[in-house]
């Protein structure tokens, strides 16, 4: 931040005092250009690392989360099938007890069936919704991927070039705008 402030103050001062600087113009402009190059390189490295550098880790994390959600879906489906089978067996046993003339035993089994605690789990629909979200995140093409496919290039290469162009356009534009404003005074 300090370097940015010094750079903009320096550009303003040089632009405002351009006619009085004479031979100091070259060293001052060279120093300002060096500072601009240093900030450009720092910005470029930072933006490239933050955009391209952690993509494999993010993808791996999403894939692990997707595998966990798929495992939970399988367990929920098996649990639902097991509960359905148990309910059918219990209903058949209660029906048999009633047909054998043992209504008290049937009533006892029915009460026991109703009092069994239900395990609190994430609903199957919620899990399937989360799985769909994760699949969308993993398979969704980005603008960079689209551009890379059009140009038959690697998405990381396209990202690096876009960041380079952005950095090259914005920093000098800000300096030029600052100089233009300062020279009007």
User: Quick one: three-class SS letters along the chain?
Assistant: CHHHHHHHHHHHHHHHCHHHHHHHHHHHHHHHHHHHHHHHHHHHHHHHHHHHHCHHHHHHHHHHHHHHHHHHHHHHHHHHHHHHHHHHHHHHHHHHHHHCCCHHHHHHHHHHHHHCCCCCCCCHHHHHHHHHHHHHHHHCCCHHHHHHHHHCCCHHHHHHHHHHHHHHHHHHHHHHHHHHHHHCC
Residues in the chain: 185
DSSP 100: T
Q: Dmax over Cα atoms in the chain, in whole Å?
A: 116
Instruction: Give the residue from 171, 144, 143 showing the smallest Cα distance to 11.
Output: 171
Residue predicted with more confidence, 118 or 97? 97
180 band by pLDDT with thresholds 50, 70 and 90: low
Residues 83, 116 contacting (CB under 8 angstroms): no
Where is mean pLDDT largest: 79-93, 104-118, 127-141? 127-141
Q: For residues 94-113, give the mean pLDDT.
A: 71
In this predicted structure, the answer to whether residue 70 has a pLDDT above a threshold of 70 is yes
Could you give the CA distance from residue 123 to residue 128 in angstroms, rounded to a whole number?
A: 9
pLDDT at position 156 is 76
pLDDT at position 53 is 60
Spans of all domains in the chain:
2-54+154-183
Location of structure tokens 């600052």: 178
CA distances 94 to 28, 85, 110, 116, Å, are 96, 14, 7, 16
pLDDT at position 80 is 77
Regarding pTM above 0.85, the answer is no
pLDDT at position 183 is 65
């Amino acid at each position: 931040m300090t370097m940015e402030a010094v750079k903009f103050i320096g550009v303003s001062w040089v632009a405002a005092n351009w006619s009085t600087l004479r031979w100091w113009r070259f060293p001052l402009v060279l120093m300002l250009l060096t500072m601009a190059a240093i900030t450009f390189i720092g910005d470029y490295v930072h933006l490239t690392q933050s955009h391209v550098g952690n993509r494999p880790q993010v993808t791996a994390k999403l894939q692990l989360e997707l595998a966990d959600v798929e495992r939970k879906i399988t367990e929920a489906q098996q649990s639902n099938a097991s509960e359905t089978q148990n309910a059918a067996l219990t209903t058949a046993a209660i029906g048999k007890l009633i047909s054998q003339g043992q209504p008290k035993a049937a009533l006892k089994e029915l009460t026991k069936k109703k009092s069994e605690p239900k395990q609190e789990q994430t609903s199957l629909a919620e899990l399937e919704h989360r799985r769909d979200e994760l699949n969308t995140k993993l398979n969704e093409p980005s603008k960079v991927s689209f551009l890379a496919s059009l140009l038959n290039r690697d998405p990381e290469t396209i990202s690096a070039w876009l960041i380079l162009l952005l950095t090259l356009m914005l920093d000098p534009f800000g300096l030029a705008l600052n100089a233009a404003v300062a020279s009007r005074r």
